[in-house]
A and B are shown apart, each in its own frame.
Chain A
Amino acid sequence: MKPTSTGPTKDDIRLPASNAAGSGLWSGYGSTLLLLLVFAVELGVGLFLLRDLRTANVEAQRMYAGSVLGLRRIGELQYQAQETRRATLYALTTSDSNLQVEYADQTRAADHRVSEGITEYLQQATTPREIELGKRLSGDWTAYLSVRDEVLASILEGSTKEAVARDLSGGVPLFDHVRQDLDEIKRQYDEQASQRLANVEATSHRSVFRLIGVIFFTLLFATGSVWAIQRSRVQSTLQFAKLQMDFVASVSHELRTPLSVICLAADNIADGLVGGKDQMDKYRSVIRNQSRQVTELVNQILLFASTQERPGQYVLRPVKVQDVIQSVLDATNTLLKEADFTVEPQIEPGLPEIMGDLAALSQCLQNLIVNAVKYGGNARWIGVRANLAAAEHGRKEVCISVQDRGIGIAPDDVQRIFEPFYRSPAVTAAQIHGTGLGLPVAKSMAEAMGGYLTVDSELGIGSVFTLHLPVAKAKAEAAAVNSEVRVSSLK
């Protein structure tokens, strides 16, 4: 016997990379997520930095508005207070009443400006110390003005000695109090300015440190991101290559066995080793069965390739659920009988028609039933159930489920069984042959018809695969759904 080992390669079947390997998702979405994460982190730290800069700016503005302008105002107050006193004393230097009245005007104008400045200071005072200082200054200034008025009156009356005596006894000490108050306010502004300057410096330093942190963090994160993206790409490439190898190995095995049998049978016939009609019939039967198996496998692969290439190939029309199930049971009748499986259909009466392509629906369910036979275990029982259920947005859908009481699927594998060419290590170890295409094909078909496929499985108990399909409403709507399906597939 000449062993034959031919099988499809990657060139024979064009596979979308993202679907071919589940972990390819990581390279696609993962890198985007990473970049988004980097962006978010950068944005967050950037906002912190901006807040720092803004705080420094506000602090600087406060320093200017509060301290620098305050110092300027106090300087002006000091000047005007001196003017008040100067004009009063100048009135002493002349006996001309006209000039004295002029000096009186000058001193009153200056004291008015001082009083206004004190009022403004009190209005802007916020801290208890500022308020206390402002009140003290106001009181001392009022007391000085009272004496100043008396001195001024004495000067105008011509009582110079009396004016000097009053000024020495009351005016000088009270004006000294005012001067001390103003000096204290000035000192306070100086302290505030120093404090705010220190705050600005501290904020600036903090901003610099944060900026360095941001740059460092950016570099670190960018490096990490690049590394992670590269790693995920390498991993996905490796995984894809492994899947391809598994697929080639699996398909080769699936093909080689029947081909070997066919070749061996053909060789035996050619070598004249087969004699008699009974033996010839047996060989003919073997060759036919094995040929069908090879054809079936090739068809499955081609079918998968076609669902990937032309997802919008189906024409959806209202189909009766009973017709679909009957068609599937007819198609799998031989297989079920050979495998000695019992099928228990439970179809809810009065089910509405569903939107779908009869052939595709049959193929989809057929794949589920073939899987149920493969992994149905010794129970040799398959339940086919159809019922009406509520879907999203208040719609109705028909659920057709295929249940088995076989080996079940491990929770980790449940996530991956719809990946093309994926085969669970458990079924590989159990030498259950397959291509890993049955479920992906069924899933693709279900989605192409506007439905979806779900699985509920428990290891050692069995599995339930459910095909959810939309209920057909009216002809017009059916046409609309058709066009929608086509448009979405084109997109």
Chain B
Amino acid sequence: MQPVRRILVGLIACLFLMQVPTGRAAGPASSNAEGSPDRMLAIVVNRANPVDELSFQELRRIFLGERSHWPNGKRITLVMMEPGTPERKAMLRDVYRMSEEDLNRHFLRGLFTGEVFASPKTLATSVGVRKFVFNVPGAIGYMALSDVDDSVKVIKVDGHLPSDKDYRLGIKPVLSDK
């Protein structure tokens, strides 16, 4: 019976390894290979915005409110989703790397000290975000890749689009988020 038991243990171990995502310990990003494209987080800007690509650091600075204008002179307007939404949680986790309270504190302090130029606009849904970005030339926001349409432009982060294998921003699954 020993060989049979070994085979069964081996099979269970394989199944377990297949279920648990790998690379999570590496840092902020999940891999495109981990989930479907609709679970990827796309960074979107107005179609008139000439910027097509940002480094992760630039992206972080922008979302922290440390940059005020785009290279074309348009004022940067941050668009966030309401607290509690998976997309916002993913941004807090992967880009801000802070909690909701820390984020609020950061913007309050920044506005007071003048280090932050404008607090983010908060919208309830990704459709609202999309429409906001469509109407405001300097707006930048985020949403699930499945919510993106032609009215906005998805920019590359570190040279990768959300559909690429090495894209770093993903919406954390609800189960694993807990």
A residues contacting B by CB (< 8 A) are 97-98, 101, 104-105, 149, 152-153, 156-158
Contacts and interface: CB of A to CB of B under 8 A. Distances in A.
Contacts of B77: 156-158
Interface in B65-95: 75, 77, 79
Nearest to B135: A104
A153 B134 CA distance: 9
A214 B124 CA distance: 79
B135 A153 contact: yes
Interface in B90-133: 118, 121-124, 128, 131-132
A98 B127 CA distance: 10
A145 to B, nearest CB: 13
Contacts of B123: 97-98, 101
B138 interface: yes
B135 A101 contact: yes
Contacts of A105: 131
A97 B79 CA distance: 10
Contacts of B139: 156-157
B135 A152 contact: yes
B128 A101 contact: yes
A47 to B, nearest CB: 62
A153 B121 CA distance: 13
Given A153-B137, A157-B75, A157-B77, A101 B118 contact: no
B54 interface: no
A158 B75 CA distance: 11
B136 interface: yes
B84 to A, nearest CB: 15
B118 A156 contact: no
Contacts of A104: 131, 135
A156 B121 contact: yes
5 contacts: A97-B122, A101-B123, A104-B131, A153-B135, A157-B136
B135 A158 contact: no
Contacts of A152: 135
A98 B123 CA distance: 6
- The 7 A-B pairs at the shortest CB distance, nearest first, are namely A97-B121, A101-B131, A153-B136, A156-B136, A157-B77, A104-B135, A101-B128
Interface of B: 75, 77, 79, 118, 121-124, 128, 131-132, 135-139
B120 to A, nearest CB: 10
Given A98-B123, A149-B135, A156-B135, 12 more contacts: A97-B122, A97-B128, A97-B132, A98-B124, A101-B128, A153-B138, A156-B77, A156-B121, A156-B132, A156-B139, A157-B136, A158-B121
B87 to A, nearest CB: 16
Contacts of A149: 135
Contacts of A98: 123-124, 128
Contacts of B136: 153, 156-157
B88 to A, nearest CB: 14
Nearest to B130: A101
Nearest to B80: A97
A105 B137 CA distance: 16
A153 B123 CA distance: 15
Nearest to A154: B136
Contacts of A158: 77, 118, 121
A101 B121 CA distance: 11
A101 to B, nearest CB: 5
B164 to A, nearest CB: 30
Contacts of A153: 135-138
A149 B46 CA distance: 13
A157 B118 CA distance: 9
A104 B131 CA distance: 8
A158 B117 CA distance: 12
A151 to B, nearest CB: 11
Contacts of B75: 157
Nearest to B82: A98
Nearest to A159: B75
A149 B135 CA distance: 7
Contacts of B131: 101, 104-105
A374 B27 CA distance: 147
A156 B132 CA distance: 7
Q: Which of B77, B121, B122 has the most CB of A within 10 A?
A: B121
A92 to B, nearest CB: 14
Contacts of B118: 157-158
B74 to A, nearest CB: 9
Given A101-B131, A101-B132, A104-B131, A157 B138 contact: yes
B106 to A, nearest CB: 19
Contacts of B124: 98
A153 B131 CA distance: 11
A104 B130 CA distance: 12
Contacts of B137: 153
A158 B131 CA distance: 15
Contacts of A156: 77, 121, 132, 135-136, 139
A152 B79 CA distance: 16
Nearest to A150: B137
Q: Which of B75, B79, B122, B138 has the most CB of A within 10 A?
A: B75
A154 to B, nearest CB: 9
Contacts of B121: 97, 156, 158
Nearest to B77: A157
Nearest to A156: B136
Contacts of A157: 75, 77, 118, 136, 138-139
Nearest to B79: A97
A459 B128 CA distance: 115
Nearest to B46: A153
B77 to A, nearest CB: 5
A98 B124 CA distance: 7
Contacts of A101: 123, 128, 131-132, 135
Q: Which of B79, B122, B123, B131 has the most CB of A within 10 A?
A: B131
A105 B128 CA distance: 10
A469 to B, nearest CB: 99
A91 to B, nearest CB: 10
Nearest to B129: A101
